[in-house]
């Protein structure tokens, strides 16, 4: 059946019938379901339905005209005549001409009135300003006589009574000698710059001879203290039996516990694993 439908002979196109009606009429006359047409032509059935229904969304573009040409040849219709009829049927409507109303002609009477009103207002303002200027310059200026100044009697000012002389304050040393200030409060007690650990103390003292950092941990690796010591600073560690020291500048630290002292002269680098239990020192 497919070969018979694609014969070269064509049929005439009726002028008073729409394109969609022609397509549907010839397809039904041949007894071909629309699904078979869509399957053989590889065209979506939705497009074929729109062509047969003369759908209002159809336009004369390349794709629609191509589908129409294939469908017309399939039904042995005159494809060229059918395409020309489709273009006329779905030709875009000519653009509507918009008619704009003609603006009314300008009236010269209103413009003349505005001009006259402006000139009259200007004359009134100029007249008021001129009258004010004339009034200011024509009025005489009255000068009031100024009474002569009267001499005021001189007033004698009584001398101020003499104030008692306040004796100068005595220095603290003289006040202490005279018994005004107790001897125990006379001078402040000096602050010692260096902390000297007691000989029998159970604590361990870390003294920085040079700038260095210290890292003190217990046997389980828990950090007790980690800080930077400057020259002359002393840090006290109580109960140091299970503590281990790591120092960044070994020669810059001096460790004291009771009467024992531990130092590392000539060791400028990092030193770790230093026991702070003085019983382990040699």
147: in domain: no
Evaluate whether 68 touches 83 at the Cβ level (below 8 Å). Answer: yes
136: in domain: no
The pair phi, psi for residue 164, each rounded to 5°, is: -70, 140
Evaluate whether 206 touches 214 at the Cβ level (below 8 Å). Answer: yes
255: in domain: yes
pTM of the entire predicted model:
0.32
Distance CA(218)–CA(202), nearest Å, equals: 17
189: in domain: no
Distance CA(17)–CA(3), nearest Å, equals: 27
- What burial letters (b/e) apply to 34-49, b meaning 16+ CB within 10 Å? eeebbeeeebeeebbe
Element containing residue 191 per DSSP (H, E): none
Residue 30 burial (C-beta neighbours within 10 Å; 0-12, 13-18, 19+): middle
State residue 169's pLDDT score. Answer: 47
Q: Final residue of a domain: which of 45, 73, 89?
A: 89
37: in domain: yes
Element containing residue 5 per DSSP (H, E): helix 2-5
Nearest to 62 by CA among 70, 54, 53, 74: 70
- Kindly give the interhelix angle for 45-52 and 34-41, rounded to the nearest 10 degrees: 120
The pair phi, psi for residue 87, each rounded to 5°, is: -65, -40
Evaluate whether 232 touches 206 at the Cβ level (below 8 Å). Answer: no
State residue 151's pLDDT score. Answer: 59
Strand residue runs (E) in the chain: 204-208, 212-218, 223-229, 234-237, 243-247, 253-257, 260-263, 271-275
State residue 200's pLDDT score. Answer: 52
**Rg, the chain, Cα only:** 61
Q: Final residue of a domain: which of 89, 122, 141?
A: 89
CATH classification at residue 84: 1.10.260.40
In order along its 282 residues, the chain shows pLDDT tens digits of: 333 333 444 445 556 788 888 888 889 998 899 899 989 899 999 988 888 888 888 887 888 888 889 988 998 889 898 899 888 888 776 666 666 667 665 555 567 888 888 899 999 999 898 888 887 877 555 545 545 555 555 555 555 655 555 455 445 444 444 443 444 433 333 434 455 555 456 789 999 999 999 999 998 889 989 898 999 999 998 888 888 999 999 999 999 988 889 898 888 889 888 988 888 887
266: in domain: yes
> Domain range holding 237?
204-280
How far is it between the farthest Cα atoms of the chain? 149
The count of domains in the chain is 2
State residue 158's pLDDT score. Answer: 58
Q: Final residue of a domain: which of 63, 89, 115?
A: 89
State residue 215's pLDDT score. Answer: 94
């Amino acid at each position: 059946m497919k070969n018979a439908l694609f014969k070269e002979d064509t049929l005439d196109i009726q002028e008073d019938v729409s394109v969609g009606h022609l397509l549907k009429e010839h397809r039904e006359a041949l007894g071909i379901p629309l699904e078979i047409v869509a399957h053989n032509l590889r065209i979506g059935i939705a497009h074929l339905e729109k062509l047969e229904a003369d759908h209002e969304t159809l336009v004369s573009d390349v794709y629609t005209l191509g589908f129409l040409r294939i469908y017309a040849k399939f039904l042995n219709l005159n494809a060229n005549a059918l395409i020309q009829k489709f273009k006329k049927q779905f030709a875009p409507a000519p653009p509507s001409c918009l008619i704009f109303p003609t603006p009314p002609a300008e009236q010269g009477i209103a413009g003349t009135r505005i001009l006259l009103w402006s000139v009259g207002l200007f004359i009134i303002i100029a007249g008021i300003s001129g009258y004010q200027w004339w009034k200011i310059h024509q009025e005489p200026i009255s000068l009031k006589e100024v009474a002569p100044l009267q001499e005021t009697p001189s007033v004698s000012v009584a001398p101020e009574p003499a104030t008692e002389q306040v004796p100068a304050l005595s220095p603290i040393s003289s006040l202490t000698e005279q018994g005004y200030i107790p001897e125990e409060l006379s001078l402040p007690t000096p602050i010692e710059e260096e902390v000297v650990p007691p000989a029998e103390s159970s604590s361990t003292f870390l003294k920085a001879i040079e700038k260095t950092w210290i890292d003190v941990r217990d046997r389980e690796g828990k950090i007790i203290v980690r800080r930077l010591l400057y020259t002359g600073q002393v840090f006290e560690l109580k109960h140091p039996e299970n503590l281990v020291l790591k120092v960044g500048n070994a020669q810059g630290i001096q460790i004291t516990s009771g009467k024992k002292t531990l130092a590392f002269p000539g060791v400028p680098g990092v030193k770790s694993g230093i026991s702070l239990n003085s019983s382990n020192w040699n």
